Amino acid sequence: MAGLATTFGSGAMTNAINEIEDAEVILVIGSNTTEAHPQVARRMLNAVDKGAKLIVIDPRRTRLAECATLHLALAPGTDIPLLNAMMRVILDESLADQLFIDMRTENFAALRAMLYRLDLAELEAVTGVLLEDIRRAAQLYARARRSVVCYCLGITQHICGTANVQSIANLAMLTGHVEKQFTGVDPLRGQNNVQGACDMGALPNVFPGYQAVDNRDYREKFERVWQTRLPAAPGLSLLDMTHSGACGPMRAMFIMGENPLRSDPSLDRVEETLTSLAFLAVSDIFLTETAAHAHVVFPAASFAEKTGTFTNTERRVQLVRQAIPPIGDCRTDADIIIALSGRLGYAMAYESTAEIMEEIALLAPIYAGIRHDRLRHSWGLQWPCWNTAHPGTPFLHKYYFTRGKGHFVPNDHLPPAELPCQDFPFLLNSGRIYHHYHTGSMTRQSALLNRECGEALLMIHPADAARLKVRGGDRLCMASRRGAVEIKAEITDQVAAGSVYTNFHFGETPINRLTIAAQDPVAQCPEFKVCAVRLEKL
């Protein structure tokens, strides 16, 4: 979420989920909300029932797009030109919120200069969206008093992911649609506790509470509380580690509850890295593809067997309560870490997970007021929560941006790293579906969820299918420059001609063998959403 951090100073959802219901205009971009965030989609549809206008920007005609007032089916990877075109229309028609821009933001002149250099007819051609529709979307969004933008991995999983997010922030600031109730910019976080894992500093460059490791004051605070010296240089990111290869710096890895051999792009490189390690330990609830490569595998307790907290996409910290003791000989990940730490000569003594939260509160100011007993008697607390009397913060940037003034960062179009060519004529897009979750290690265990949706399907447009003489249910070989998989075809006009779409939940069909390792230089988010492939009927 680096993009929001540079513009607003904080990378979290600015609204509460329920506020979406009271928006007048909802702009959804790069998010298949009905499938990936069902409860957020429910609020959007409630808002539509109450008369709100819904604008969906997505290359596919998703279920949400079918309910939309306006669906802009842009060419994949052209989010920036589309957003720039909307902003240009807003300037041309004097719909910008000049007072907000003057009082609350900086660097507007640079954005304006960039927008005035653009040619709308050219942007229409690049995005494949009619200028008329772009104009209507811009007018709807800018004229309403309460407009919300929701975006998801469709925006961040591009080589220009950070620039995409900045462009969304530009649009919101240009029209003053931030820092008010029912109005804002909301990144929808994919997995249940992504927000919490970031908040807790499971990141190479920050301690808990987004305090930079290379800042001496922060580091000294942590050194004082933890009574030991800490490394100052930021570490390697996920893909720098899993893609470092046989000759890279990685000699040993400890992996807790992740399955990089299914979730990361360019799997052959991940496999090379993992098999060349001198030591690999994995803690998980199932023997995942990654665990099968390990030297040591720890059986972890599931969420039903432990106590702790998760933080949802609206920054709400909530309790997870133990329902049953760990099954078999399982232990919680906390117990495993504490046992290892003790053996390495660093004692971690906690009576309970509530005590761990007390240490978090001591060190991370945004969690300072959060305690397990407060959570027990409420529906959770939304951070920042500055002290034990603080009620939490339903919407961010209430009176000022976290970083002071909002900063405009103008961005130009950056085409995807790999576009279709003669040898690989189709554009492959991948994502999630309603019935399964991430690499499927949990949901695939459910007989019912598997019956509803038991294998990966490749969505192909009827015109392409006719040309390839493929019928629904036929098996295809799909190949990219990096690898090939076998997959069943589903014919549908939900995808545009020339594009195909599937999802990555299924171990038998490892789509990430095909995807590309190009990544966004700032947020280091891999470009999953776009790569070029070839199809052959089997």
User: Using CB under 6 A, which residues numbered 7 to 46 contact ligand SF4?
Assistant: 38-39
Considering the rule CB under 8 A, would residue 238 count as an interface residue with another protein?
yes
User: Considering only residues 84-123, where is the footprint of another protein by CB under 8 A?
Assistant: none
Considering the rule CB under 8 A, would residue 18 count as an interface residue with another protein?
yes
Q: With contact defined as beta carbons under 8 Å apart, do 215 and 382 qualify?
A: no
User: DSSP states of 443-475 as a string?
Assistant: GGG-HHHHHHS-S-EEEE-HHHHHHHT--TT-E
Burial degree of 69 (CB within 10 A; 0-12, 13-18, 19+): middle
Considering the rule CB under 8 A, would residue 154 count as an interface residue with another protein?
no
Contacted by 338, from another protein, ligand SF4, none: CB < 5 to 8 Å by type: another protein
Considering the rule CB under 8 A, would residue 521 count as an interface residue with another protein?
no
Considering the rule CB under 6 A, would residue 191 count as an interface residue with ligand SF4?
no
Considering the rule CB under 8 A, would residue 360 count as an interface residue with another protein?
yes
Q: Tell me how far, at minimum, the Cβ of 528 lies from another protein, in Å.
A: 7
User: DSSP states of 54-109 as a string?
Assistant: EEEE-SS--HHHHT-SEEE-PPTT-HHHHHHHHHHHHHHTT-S-HHHHHHHEE-HH
Considering the rule CB under 8 A, would residue 205 count as an interface residue with another protein?
yes
Q: Give the residue nearest to ligand SF4 (CB).
A: 38
Q: Is 183 strand, coil or helix?
A: strand
DSSP 265: S
Contacted by 388, from ligand SF4, another protein, none: CB < 5 to 8 Å by type: none
Q: State which of residues 255, 458, 476, 496 lies at the interface with another protein (CB under 8 A).
A: 255
Contacted by 100, from another protein, ligand SF4, none: CB < 5 to 8 Å by type: none
Q: Tell me how far, at minimum, the Cβ of 101 lies from another protein, in Å.
A: 31
Contacted by 150, from another protein, ligand SF4, none: CB < 5 to 8 Å by type: none
| Pairing assessment for the beta strands 457-460 and 484-491 based on DSSP bridges | parallel
User: Considering only residues 185-204, where is the footprint of another protein by CB under 8 A?
Assistant: 188-204
Residue 387: count other Cβ atoms within 10 Å of its Cβ. Answer: 9
* Contact region with another protein (CB under 8 A), list: 76-84, 164-172, 296-304, 414-422: 296-304
Considering the rule CB under 8 A, would residue 256 count as an interface residue with another protein?
yes
Q: Tell me how far, at minimum, the Cβ of 412 lies from another protein, in Å.
A: 23
Considering the rule CB under 8 A, would residue 343 count as an interface residue with another protein?
yes
| Pairing assessment for the beta strands 147-151 and 457-460 based on DSSP bridges | unpaired
Beta strands in 199-260 (DSSP E): 206-207, 211-212, 252-256
Considering the rule CB under 6 A, would residue 472 count as an interface residue with ligand SF4?
no
Contacted by 451, from ligand SF4, another protein, none: CB < 5 to 8 Å by type: none
> What mask, x for binding another protein by CB under 8 A, covers residues 412 to 451?
----------------------xxxx----xx-xxxxx--
* Helices 353-363 + 216-226 axis angle, to 10: 150
Contacted by 235, from another protein, ligand SF4, none: CB < 5 to 8 Å by type: another protein
Name the region of 346 (left: φ>0; alpha: ψ -120 to 50; beta: rest). beta
Contacted by 260, from another protein, ligand SF4, none: CB < 5 to 8 Å by type: another protein
Q: Tell me how far, at minimum, the Cβ of 163 lies from another protein, in Å.
A: 15
Structure token pair of residue 203: 């990141």
* Residue closer to ligand SF4 (CB basis): 38 or 245: 38
Contacted by 480, from ligand SF4, another protein, none: CB < 5 to 8 Å by type: none
Q: With contact defined as beta carbons under 8 Å apart, do 74 and 59 qualify?
A: yes
* Residue closer to another protein (CB basis): 138 or 280: 280
Strand partners, 476: 487, 537
Which residues are within 8 A (CB) of 420 and not within 5 positions of it... i.e. 6 or more apart? 426, 427, 498, 532
Structure token pair of residue 123: 């942007």
Q: Tell me how far, at minimum, the Cβ of 312 lies from ligand SF4, in Å.
A: 8
Q: Is 304 strand, coil or helix?
A: helix
Cα–Cα dist 330/295, whole Å: 18
Residue 285: count other Cβ atoms within 10 Å of its Cβ. Answer: 19
Considering the rule CB under 8 A, would residue 26 count as an interface residue with another protein?
no
Pick the closest to residue 388 from 375, 401, 397 (CA basis): 375
Considering the rule CB under 8 A, would residue 463 count as an interface residue with another protein?
no
Q: Tell me how far, at minimum, the Cβ of 318 lies from ligand SF4, in Å.
A: 10
Q: Is 400 strand, coil or helix?
A: coil
Q: Tell me how far, at minimum, the Cβ of 320 lies from ligand SF4, in Å.
A: 12
* Contact region with another protein (CB under 8 A), list: 127-135, 344-352, 401-409, 460-468: 344-352
Contacted by 254, from another protein, ligand SF4, none: CB < 5 to 8 Å by type: another protein
Which residues are within 8 A (CB) of 339 and not within 5 positions of it... i.e. 6 or more apart? 331
Considering the rule CB under 8 A, would residue 324 count as an interface residue with another protein?
yes
Considering the rule CB under 6 A, would residue 446 count as an interface residue with ligand SF4?
no
Q: With contact defined as beta carbons under 8 Å apart, do 425 and 468 qualify?
A: no
Cα–Cα dist 132/454, whole Å: 41
Residue type, 445: Q
Q: Tell me how far, at minimum, the Cβ of 293 lies from ligand SF4, in Å.
A: 29
Q: State which of residues 121, 344, 349, 538 lies at the interface with another protein (CB under 8 A).
A: 344
Considering the rule CB under 8 A, would residue 474 count as an interface residue with another protein?
no
* Residue closer to another protein (CB basis): 286 or 386: 286
* Helices 79-92 + 131-143 axis angle, to 10: 70
Q: Tell me how far, at minimum, the Cβ of 520 lies from another protein, in Å.
A: 8
* Residue closer to another protein (CB basis): 113 or 362: 362
- b (16+ CB within 10 A) / e for 330-355: bbbbbebebeeeeeeeeeeeeeebbe
Considering the rule CB under 8 A, would residue 234 count as an interface residue with another protein?
yes
Contact set with ligand SF4 (CB under 6 A) = 38-39
